[in-house]
Amino acid sequence: MNKILMHGFLMLIPFFISAQNKIGTSHITQNAYQNSAKTYSLENLQHASIQELEYYQFKAEKLSTFGTIATIFGGLVLGTALLIGDSGDIEETMIVILTGTSGLITMVIGIPMIITGKKRIKRINSIKNHASIDFGINIQPCVQYNMVTQNCQSGMSVRITF
Protein backbone atom coordinates (compact mmCIF):
# COMPACT_ATOMS: atom_id res chain seq x y z
CA MET A 1 0.00 0.00 0.00
CA ASN A 2 2.80 2.44 0.91
CA LYS A 3 4.59 1.81 -2.37
CA ILE A 4 1.39 2.53 -4.31
CA LEU A 5 0.94 5.86 -2.50
CA MET A 6 4.59 6.74 -3.00
CA HIS A 7 4.42 5.90 -6.70
CA GLY A 8 1.27 8.02 -7.07
CA PHE A 9 2.95 10.94 -5.34
CA LEU A 10 6.04 10.69 -7.52
CA MET A 11 3.85 10.65 -10.63
CA LEU A 12 2.26 13.96 -9.58
CA ILE A 13 5.56 15.87 -9.13
CA PRO A 14 6.14 16.51 -12.89
CA PHE A 15 2.54 17.73 -13.18
CA PHE A 16 3.04 20.34 -10.44
CA ILE A 17 6.37 21.45 -11.88
CA SER A 18 4.93 21.89 -15.39
CA ALA A 19 1.89 23.75 -14.01
CA GLN A 20 4.16 26.23 -12.22
CA ASN A 21 6.22 26.84 -15.36
CA LYS A 22 3.11 27.81 -17.35
CA ILE A 23 2.08 30.61 -14.99
CA GLY A 24 3.86 33.28 -17.05
CA THR A 25 7.29 33.65 -15.57
CA SER A 26 9.01 32.83 -18.86
CA HIS A 27 8.50 36.37 -20.22
CA ILE A 28 9.95 37.91 -17.05
CA THR A 29 12.87 35.48 -17.07
CA GLN A 30 13.55 36.17 -20.75
CA ASN A 31 13.62 39.95 -20.18
CA ALA A 32 15.92 39.57 -17.17
CA TYR A 33 18.29 37.41 -19.21
CA GLN A 34 18.33 39.92 -22.09
CA ASN A 35 19.02 42.81 -19.71
CA SER A 36 21.88 41.01 -17.97
CA ALA A 37 23.27 39.87 -21.33
CA LYS A 38 23.34 43.50 -22.48
CA THR A 39 24.80 44.76 -19.19
CA TYR A 40 27.65 42.27 -19.08
CA SER A 41 28.36 42.26 -22.81
CA LEU A 42 31.89 43.11 -23.87
CA GLU A 43 30.71 46.20 -25.77
CA ASN A 44 28.82 47.65 -22.81
CA LEU A 45 31.64 46.94 -20.37
CA GLN A 46 34.21 48.62 -22.63
CA HIS A 47 32.12 51.82 -22.69
CA ALA A 48 31.30 51.76 -18.97
CA SER A 49 32.97 54.10 -16.50
CA ILE A 50 35.16 52.86 -13.65
CA GLN A 51 32.30 53.43 -11.19
CA GLU A 52 29.93 51.35 -13.31
CA LEU A 53 32.52 48.59 -13.61
CA GLU A 54 32.95 48.58 -9.83
CA TYR A 55 29.18 48.31 -9.39
CA TYR A 56 28.90 45.49 -11.94
CA GLN A 57 31.77 43.68 -10.24
CA PHE A 58 30.08 44.07 -6.85
CA LYS A 59 26.88 42.55 -8.26
CA ALA A 60 28.80 39.68 -9.89
CA GLU A 61 30.64 38.93 -6.63
CA LYS A 62 27.33 39.01 -4.80
CA LEU A 63 25.84 36.53 -7.31
CA SER A 64 28.82 34.21 -6.95
CA THR A 65 28.67 34.38 -3.14
CA PHE A 66 24.95 33.67 -3.09
CA GLY A 67 25.47 30.73 -5.45
CA THR A 68 28.13 29.33 -3.13
CA ILE A 69 25.82 29.68 -0.14
CA ALA A 70 22.93 28.04 -2.02
CA THR A 71 25.12 25.15 -3.14
CA ILE A 72 26.49 24.51 0.36
CA PHE A 73 23.05 24.81 1.94
CA GLY A 74 21.52 22.48 -0.66
CA GLY A 75 24.26 19.94 -0.07
CA LEU A 76 23.70 20.08 3.68
CA VAL A 77 19.94 19.61 3.27
CA LEU A 78 20.46 16.73 0.84
CA GLY A 79 23.02 15.12 3.15
CA THR A 80 20.67 15.49 6.11
CA ALA A 81 17.87 13.83 4.15
CA LEU A 82 20.15 10.95 3.22
CA LEU A 83 21.35 10.55 6.82
CA ILE A 84 17.81 10.45 8.18
CA GLY A 85 17.11 7.62 5.81
CA ASP A 86 13.96 5.63 5.40
CA SER A 87 12.52 3.88 8.44
CA GLY A 88 9.59 2.43 6.56
CA ASP A 89 6.96 4.91 7.78
CA ILE A 90 5.16 6.67 4.91
CA GLU A 91 5.27 10.08 6.61
CA GLU A 92 9.00 9.90 7.24
CA THR A 93 9.58 8.68 3.70
CA MET A 94 7.66 11.65 2.31
CA ILE A 95 9.64 14.07 4.49
CA VAL A 96 12.92 12.51 3.39
CA ILE A 97 11.93 12.67 -0.30
CA LEU A 98 10.74 16.29 -0.09
CA THR A 99 13.77 17.38 1.92
CA GLY A 100 16.20 15.60 -0.39
CA THR A 101 14.50 16.99 -3.49
CA SER A 102 14.57 20.54 -2.17
CA GLY A 103 18.26 20.17 -1.27
CA LEU A 104 19.07 18.83 -4.72
CA ILE A 105 17.14 21.63 -6.44
CA THR A 106 18.92 24.25 -4.33
CA MET A 107 22.29 22.77 -5.28
CA VAL A 108 21.34 22.65 -8.96
CA ILE A 109 20.35 26.34 -8.83
CA GLY A 110 23.48 27.39 -6.91
CA ILE A 111 26.06 25.86 -9.25
CA PRO A 112 25.13 27.94 -12.36
CA MET A 113 25.03 31.06 -10.18
CA ILE A 114 28.64 30.42 -9.14
CA ILE A 115 29.74 29.82 -12.74
CA THR A 116 27.94 32.93 -14.04
CA GLY A 117 29.32 35.14 -11.28
CA LYS A 118 32.90 33.94 -11.83
CA LYS A 119 32.66 34.50 -15.61
CA ARG A 120 31.32 38.02 -15.08
CA ILE A 121 34.08 38.84 -12.58
CA LYS A 122 36.72 37.54 -15.00
CA ARG A 123 35.28 39.60 -17.87
CA ILE A 124 35.11 42.78 -15.77
CA ASN A 125 38.68 42.33 -14.49
CA SER A 126 39.98 41.89 -18.04
CA ILE A 127 38.23 45.12 -19.09
CA LYS A 128 39.59 46.97 -16.03
CA ASN A 129 43.14 45.77 -16.72
CA HIS A 130 43.01 46.85 -20.35
CA ALA A 131 41.33 50.16 -19.50
CA SER A 132 44.28 51.28 -17.40
CA ILE A 133 46.66 50.92 -20.38
CA ASP A 134 44.71 53.30 -22.62
CA PHE A 135 45.27 57.01 -22.65
CA GLY A 136 43.52 59.69 -24.60
CA ILE A 137 43.50 63.37 -25.43
CA ASN A 138 40.19 65.13 -25.80
CA ILE A 139 40.04 68.74 -27.09
CA GLN A 140 36.69 70.52 -26.92
CA PRO A 141 35.51 74.08 -27.27
CA CYS A 142 34.35 75.63 -24.02
CA VAL A 143 32.93 78.87 -22.72
CA GLN A 144 33.92 80.47 -19.42
CA TYR A 145 32.29 83.36 -17.67
CA ASN A 146 34.70 86.15 -16.72
CA MET A 147 33.49 87.99 -13.63
CA VAL A 148 35.78 91.01 -14.19
CA THR A 149 34.56 91.84 -17.67
CA GLN A 150 31.05 90.43 -17.01
CA ASN A 151 30.94 88.42 -20.25
CA CYS A 152 31.65 84.97 -21.67
CA GLN A 153 34.98 84.11 -23.21
CA SER A 154 35.42 81.26 -25.60
CA GLY A 155 38.34 78.90 -25.37
CA MET A 156 39.52 75.34 -25.68
CA SER A 157 39.40 72.59 -23.06
CA VAL A 158 42.07 69.90 -23.14
CA ARG A 159 41.48 66.67 -21.23
CA ILE A 160 44.24 64.09 -21.00
CA THR A 161 43.37 60.68 -19.57
CA PHE A 162 45.84 57.96 -18.71
Tens digits of per-residue pLDDT, 66-93? 999 999 999 999 888 888 876 677 888 8
Which secondary structure element, helix H or strand E, spans residue 94, and what is its range? helix 90-131
DSSP 162: -
Tens digits of per-residue pLDDT, 103-134? 999 999 999 999 999 999 999 998 888 765 56
**What mean pLDDT is reported for the chain?**
76
Q: Is this structure's pTM higher than 0.75? A: no
pLDDT of residue 132: 56
Does residue 15 have a pLDDT over 80?
Answer: no
